[in-house]
Amino acid sequence: MNSKRIICNTSPIIGLISIGKLSLLGELFDELILPEAVYRELCADSSSHQKEIDEIKDCVRKGYFKIYSVKNSDMVKSMYGKLHYGELEVIVAAKELGLQMAVIDEKAARKMASEFLVDTIGILGILILAKQRGFVKCIKPDVDKLRMNGYRISDELYIQILAKAGEE
């Protein structure tokens, strides 16, 4: 996977922040794009997540994330209900920008992305890619931390991911 530009949905970013690994996106990709709806979701007022919100806003200020305004907002509105605005904007923006890859975890959103011919990678794929490229030594501690933080990873997927990373 040689994608230099990638567009991200909300939950993978929250997951990476929760394990202190948001920087992996910048190590793996040259340009990180957030649709406006995703940025709004990430920065929705929540006193319990102010540290994370500040981190996101700082990443945008420093140019680490670029905010993208979807041109075809009518398409997004027409499909709302099948998915959330953030997921829809990720998929529509990927097509508008000619991106090959989107970072999405939710199964329904990944399915719709594939219907739009947009490949997806989730947070677990990001961790595996980071290991393959030498940015992390092992992923098991991070996957364990994601599970402890409430990220839904079935036992079956857990075993598959660790096996794929060579960490059975």
Task: Please count the structural domains in the chain.
Answer: 1
Neighbouring-strand partners of residue 103: 8, 121
The domain in which residue 84 lies consists of 5-135
Residue 167 lies inside a defined structural domain of this protein: no
Percent of the chain with pLDDT over 70: 96
pLDDT digits (tens, 9 = 90+) for 126-151: 999 999 999 999 999 999 999 998 88
Residue 151 lies inside a defined structural domain of this protein: no
User: Rounded to an integer, what is the distance from CA 158 to the centroid of its chain?
Assistant: 18
Residue 110 lies inside a defined structural domain of this protein: yes
pLDDT at residue 125, as a whole number: 95
pLDDT at residue 78, as a whole number: 85
pLDDT at residue 168, as a whole number: 77
Residue 144 lies inside a defined structural domain of this protein: no
- Helix (H) / strand (E) element for 35: namely strand 31-35
- Residue 49 carries which side chain, given as an amino acid letter? H
Q: Could you tell me the two tokens for 101? A: 């890859």
Q: CATH number for the domain including 16?
A: 3.40.50.1010
Among the ranges given (30-34, 54-58, 63-67, 118-122), the one the predictor scored with the smallest mean pLDDT: 54-58
What are the CA-CA distances from residue 52 to residues 12, 33, 59 (Å)? 13, 18, 11
Residue 97 lies inside a defined structural domain of this protein: yes
Taking each helix axis as running N to C, give the angle between helix 123-132 and helix 140-148, from 0 to 180 degrees, rounded to the nearest 10: 160
pLDDT at residue 47, as a whole number: 61
